[in-house]
């Protein structure tokens, strides 16, 4: 019972009771819900993890490894995306060339037939022309060493050694990269050793569940040991120490 109702009753029903009176009331506060994110501290190298992991929505199409420090896009809806980048190993001879060469040392991500690649746009969420990989072979170039010879469905124009390609969401013109908001890192090497599920209805292919470490001010990486970084990714670097990277 609210106090105003109590006093109204006292005024309307005044009288004398030589004893005690017990008045009770109940109310509702509408329930409760948690609002604070409780991050998981690893105690190692200042790595911080989210409360839950996620399913990798763009796994590699074959046996491959994603290395520690690879950038990642984490979503609280349970989905996540590996930021796949590839460094051009040789200049293309002409803008119509559909054979390109990507760096293929032991720390480079492996391209696969069916991958969709684009030249890294000037911003992480920019657009560009995206093409499909139709053939991949591992070769040794006399000048550049181990490379991947990659045949693409259409030419990407003139490519210069050191250019960075990224995975795209779909093939065509004015398409978006697969990862538009890198916000985390892989805390260690991850091996993708099974053929991935081709769709949500494929129950024979593999599904990969991982927990990335979140971007935070304490996590620093060596730039020269990371994946190839486009100019757009370099622009995200908050570290004031040359040679370190921090999201």
DSSP 80-114: EEE--EEEB-S--SSTT--EEEEE-STTSPPP-TT
Report if residue 4 sits inside a domain.
no
Q: What is the span of the domain harbouring residue 208?
A: 40-83+179-247
With contact defined as beta carbons under 8 Å apart, do 133 and 116 qualify? yes
Does residue 139 share a domain with residue 164? yes
Does residue 144 share a domain with residue 60? no
Of 178, 200, 230, the residue that ends a domain is 178
**What total of structural domains would you count in the chain?**
2
Q: Where are the beta strands (DSSP E) in 120-158?
A: 128-141, 145-152
Q: Which helix (H) or strand (E) holds 175?
A: strand 172-175
pLDDT tens-digit series, residues 60-115: 999 999 999 999 999 999 999 999 999 999 998 766 789 999 999 989 999 999 99
Does residue 122 share a domain with residue 79? no
Please state which of the ranges 55-59, 142-146, 220-224 shows the lowest mean pLDDT.
142-146
% of the chain surpassing 70 pLDDT:
86
Does residue 153 share a domain with residue 95? yes
pLDDT tens-digit series, residues 153-194: 999 988 999 999 999 999 999 999 999 999 999 999 999 999
Does residue 197 share a domain with residue 79? yes
Report if residue 28 sits inside a domain.
no
Rounded CA-CA distance 86/186 in Å is: 17
Does residue 104 share a domain with residue 171? yes
Of 153, 178, 203, the residue that ends a domain is 178
Report if residue 168 sits inside a domain.
yes
């Amino acid at each position: 019972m609210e106090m105003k109702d109590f006093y109204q009753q006292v005024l309307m029903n005044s009288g004398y009771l030589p004893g005690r009176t017990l008045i009770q009331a109940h109310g509702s506060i509408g329930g409760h819900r948690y609002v604070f994110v409780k991050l998981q501290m690893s105690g190692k190298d200042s790595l911080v993890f989210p409360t839950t992991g996620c399913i990798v929505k763009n796994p590699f199409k074959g046996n491959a490894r994603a290395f520690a420090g690879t950038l990642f896009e984490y979503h609280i809806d349970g989905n996540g995306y590996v930021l796949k980048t590839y460094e051009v190993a040789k200049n293309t001879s002409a803008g119509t060339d559909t054979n390109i060469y990507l760096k293929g040392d032991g720390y480079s991500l492996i391209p696969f037939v069916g991958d969709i690649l684009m030249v890294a746009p000037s911003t992480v969420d920019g657009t560009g022309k995206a093409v499909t990989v139709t053939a991949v072979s591992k070769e040794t170039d006399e000048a550049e060493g181990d490379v991947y010879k990659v045949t693409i469905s259409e030419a990407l124009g003139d490519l210069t050694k050191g250019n960075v390609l990224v995975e795209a969401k779909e093939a065509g013109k004015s398409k978006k990269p697969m990862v538009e908001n890198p916000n985390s890192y892989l805390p260690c090497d991850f091996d993708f050793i099974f053929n991935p599920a081709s769709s949500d209805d494929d129950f024979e292919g593999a599904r990969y569940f991982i927990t990335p470490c979140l971007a935070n001010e304490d996590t620093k990486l060596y730039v020269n040991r990371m994946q190839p970084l486009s100019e757009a990714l370099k622009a995200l670097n908050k570290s004031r120490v040359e040679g370190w990277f921090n999201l």
